[in-house]
Structure 1
Amino acid sequence: MGSRVTRLFRNFNIENRAHREISKTKSKAAPRHSAPIGIPQEDIAEEINKKNDSLLSMLKDVYVESKDPVPQDEALPEVKKVEEETQQRALKHSLPSAPYGFCDITVVPKGKISLVEALTALNNHKLLPKTWTPEKLAEEYSLDPKDAKALTEFFFPFDVIIIPPKTEETKRIDS
């Protein structure tokens, strides 16, 4: 209902208002900046296109020689680190035929781990924590030892924790 009222006021007498705006006199454009009084325009164009021999001779004296900088010893460990990260390793575990594209991955960069490998490693660590220590996981999957330790410490994909309700009034689903 409100849109009808606003449309009524918006379209009221629209033709007369449009004709009134069109018939108004247009304001004049601002005047152009005039050229300096003492110099004619032809002299300025001539000065721009004229060659200056003294400037040209100075430009010919300039010689630029560039060379690539020699890598310093400090930069070399970074290069080695990048090369190590780009090295690939074959997958240790994979799904037989995943319908959602998990099997598309065939190689993983060193220092990384696939989802299937992470789940397998966490399961092995949970079942046999003395055998599958973080150090052994790091060695097996080419991981950084601190990353393997963090993986075993902070990720628990198979733990289900049921938090009891605070009061008796809250509904609880029993399985």
Structure 2
Amino acid sequence: MGARVARLFRDFNLENRVHREIGKAKPEVAPRHLTHIDSVQSTEVTEINDAIHKRNDPLLGLLKSVYVESKDPTEAPKEVTEENVEERRPLKFNLPGDPYGIVELTDVPKGKLSIAEALKALNNHKNAPQTWTLDKVAQEYSLDLKDTKALLEHFIPFEVKIIPPKTKDDSKQIKDT
């Protein structure tokens, strides 16, 4: 009931109020900020604009005389030079079979490791850190000492822990019926 009364007062003489608002004078737009453009500078700007948009017949004639014909070049075989050849080293360790669907590698660039070699190096260092020191791993796999330190410090090989089954004395077990 109260909503109907409120609506009556809200909509009372609505059309006249709308026409009154529409008929009011619109507020004036704020004046633009005055700029201090020198007359010399403004003439330079207009001259540059005229020069850009002006038709230059000699240049247009030269442009029309140009004919470009393009063809895809045949790819020439790259010549192997002494500078382009990276030093490579044979792999120290491979996984049996075709691991991860990767083509079997025979060598890698110096300063790089294959996945299998990285796992082997990490595992060797973890199992025997006295024999597989930072220097020995770097020398064995032709790695940079800084990279080897980062590898051994930040990467840890997976560790499998086998938990022995509990005995009958330790816990209750469900018996088969």
Q: TM-score, normalised by structure 1?
A: 0.42
TM-score when scaled to structure 2? 0.41
